[in-house]
Amino acid sequence: MSHQTVIVLDFGGQYNQLIARRVRECGVYCEVKPYTTPLEQLKAMEPIGFIFTGGPNSVYDEKAPHVDPAIFELGVPVLGICYGCQLMAHTLGGQVTAAQEDTAREYGKTETYYDTTCKLFKGLPEQGISWMSHGDYMAKVPEGFALTAHTDACPNVAIADEKRGFYGVQYHPEVNHTQHGVDMIRNFLYEVCGATGDWTMGDYKNTAIRDIREKVGDGKVLLALSGGVDSSVAAALLAEAVGKQLTCVFVDHGLMRKNEGDEVEAAFARWDINFVRVDAEARFLLKLAGEAEPERKRKIIGEEFIRVFEEEAKKIGRVDYLVQGTIYPDVIESGAGDAAVIKSHHNVGGLPDYVDFKEIIEPLRLLFKDEVRQLGRELGLPEYLVMRQPFPGPGLAIRVIGDLTKEKLDTLRDADAIYREEIAAAGEDKNINQYFAVLTNTRSVGVMGDGRTYDYTLALRAVTTSDFMTADWARIPYDVLDRISTRIVNEVKGINRIVYDITSKPPATIEWE
């Protein structure tokens, strides 16, 4: 099944992925392509619309990115955002100049007035906040364009040639700060491009299963299952498609959270696949014994994971296909064209040459993270796996500060489980993007009953974030923190002091190590 497609043409904007996500949230499939993509290649995709992203350049600069002017002769609607708007104006005969200090240069939240007879603003309020970020100004708009939005400082915040389906906005409708911004994108898709909304996870699931069956035939498939969201959803999709032909190797290194290994295994019990759970806890702990430096821990764990996976792969024998959980942001960030090769090597992470396979399958490479979670639900994966929080590859090894022992790991597992249980019970899990406990290497004096203790300090970390690039510490209610602290100190042996990390990112990172 082929989907209606919108092409997001990337001119270096910081929000390119966000634009694509907004389009897909509206039920329309889209792909992000670099502005250098040849016009013939874009035409071959038969798009119903183009969206030009923002970018850091000025269109009048000699080395600024441009587009083949013939794109405007395809009869396909175009929405230009920020730089994309200015590029459209510049290419079609308008004039773009640097804004003067006192007029037209705008940044941040700005009161904006819209002409709601324009299709882009159909059914929306005539006034609202938009998110501006532009230092250039359209001194002259191209012939055939009308002014459809303005601010107190700028008369041409939005322009439109409705006859040809060309629209440009100086602000960013894709960001949450712009009121009704997603509605504007939806209007472009449905009112202008004629979208029907044929992009659903149910359809994607069925199409992906069919395509995988056609590709694999009677071949054997191997997947390294970490228990994370991406690898779990990829495994479920392959299980649904080829069943017994799939072997999932789950390396249980003993560094996961409480009961997670059992939960991962239970989640895949419904499928008739070869599920291999390798109990490698003792092996990993032996390799990590006495090692306190976090980067060394990471390296040891990465290398040992490869060795274990290699040994299991050899037992299987011939493998036709290797599955990877590459998702669309990985593909975009790696760059188009060579993306598959770059990510294949990155994801396999040094897989030995003699784990022989003829092709890599990346069934999630068209999906954003939220879409991967939706697909997981469509496939019947339990919510605890689908909504699993980001978890570092080395697992709890870098949440135990200093050297590792099984006793320390078990202590942290028990404390972390109580923390997570109380956060969920208070309903705070819906407000916090990531939360976890860290067993510090600091010991202090305490009093329990009539006796003196000298035990470890446990740190609690919780953050709110939209992109994990920056994060703010979460304001957990005091009574919830009180319950967490009381339970951990009373129920977990070896901890007598609880501290709460109130540092944002930056200057701190989300993880401690």
> Which two three-digit tokens encode residue 327?
């998702």
Contacts 24+ apart (CB under 8 A), 280-284: 280/251, 280/252, 280/253, 280/254, 280/304, 280/308, 281/252, 281/253, 281/254, 281/406, 282/254, 283/308, 284/253, 284/254, 284/255
DSSP string, 128-171: EEEEEEE-EEEEEPPTT-EEEEE-SS-S-SEEEETTTTEEEESB
134 is catalytic: no
- Report how far residue 145's alpha carbon sits from residue 163's, in angstroms, rounded to the nearest whole number: 9
Burial 32-67 (b: 16+ CB within 10 A, else e): bbebebeeeebeeeebbbbbbbbbebbbeeeebbeb
Question: Which stretches of 365-405 are DSSP H helices?
Answer: 369-378, 383-386
Instruction: Choose, from 85, 90, 118, 174, the residue flagged as catalytic.
Output: 174
- Report how far residue 499's alpha carbon sits from residue 458's, in angstroms, rounded to the nearest whole number: 6
Instruction: Return the residue matching tokens 């319950």.
Output: 483
Nearest to 30 by CA among 60, 4, 12: 4
172 is catalytic: yes
C-beta atoms surrounding 374 within 10 Å: 19
C-beta atoms surrounding 339 within 10 Å: 18
Q: Which distant-in-sequence residues (6+ apart) come within 8 Å of 199 by Cβ? A: 3, 4, 24, 27, 28, 29
85 is catalytic: no
Q: Which distant-in-sequence residues (6+ apart) come within 8 Å of 458 by Cβ? A: 412, 415, 437, 438, 439, 440, 488, 495, 497, 498, 499
Q: β-pairing, 158-161 with 166-169?
A: antiparallel
Half-sphere exposure of 290 (CA within 13 A, CB side): 2
**In DSSP terms, which residues pair with 168 in a beta bridge?**
80, 159
**In DSSP terms, which residues pair with 114 in a beta bridge?**
149
Instruction: Choose, from 26, 82, 118, 248, the residue flagged as catalytic.
Output: 82
Nearest to 171 by CA among 189, 153, 194: 153
- Residues tagged active-site: 82, 172, 174
